[in-house]
């Protein structure tokens, strides 16, 4: 069981940076794979980055080299460091935790990149 709360979103100019945080509670956090998704209005929700319990990371091609996902198991928190932001990164960002067939979602945090 896990509950997720995202924070760190906001308004930033193109070329700037933001760090998103996802604080988790629940007994399965340390064995769950953690993901960041994003969804723009009228678009599908896309996987941005993931990190397994042992620290293996994967990224969407659109963010490789710009975004970094990490986790701190002692704090039950996953992070998404976003650098070199562009207007295409504007979306609501959602934290997801999954273990086996069980998935949990946060409520999302808005990221808006201005030109």
Q: Which pLDDT value is given to residue 2?
A: 82
Place of tokens 């509670």: 25
Q: Which pLDDT value is given to residue 28?
A: 81
Beta carbons of 2 and 104 less than 8 angstroms apart: yes
Q: Which pLDDT value is given to residue 76?
A: 94
Please give the average per-residue pLDDT across 94-103, as a whole number.
93
Closest residue by Cα to residue 45 from 87, 80, 101, 96: 96
Is residue 8 over pLDDT 80? yes
Place of tokens 């990149």: 113
User: Alpha-carbon distance 51 to 70, whole Å?
Assistant: 7
Give the pLDDT confidence of 15-61 residue by residue, as tens digits: 999 999 999 997 788 899 999 999 999 999 999 999 999 999 999 99
CA atoms within 13 A of residue 50's CA, in its CB half-sphere: 12
With a CB cutoff of 8 Å and minimum separation 6, the contacts of 100 are none
């Amino acid at each position: 069981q896990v509950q997720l709360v995202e924070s760190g979103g906001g308004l930033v100019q193109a070329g700037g940076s933001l760090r998103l945080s996802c604080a988790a509670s629940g007994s399965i956090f340390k064995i769950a794979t953690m993901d960041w998704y994003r969804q723009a209005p009228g678009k599908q929700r896309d996987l941005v980055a993931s990190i397994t319990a042992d620290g293996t990371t994967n990224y969407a091609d659109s963010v490789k080299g710009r975004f970094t996902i990490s986790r701190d198991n002692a704090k039950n928190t996953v992070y998404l460091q976003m650098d070199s932001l562009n207007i295409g990164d504007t979306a609501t960002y959602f934290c997801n935790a999954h273990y086996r067939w069980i998935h949990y979602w946060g409520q999302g945090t808005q990221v808006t990149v201005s030109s």
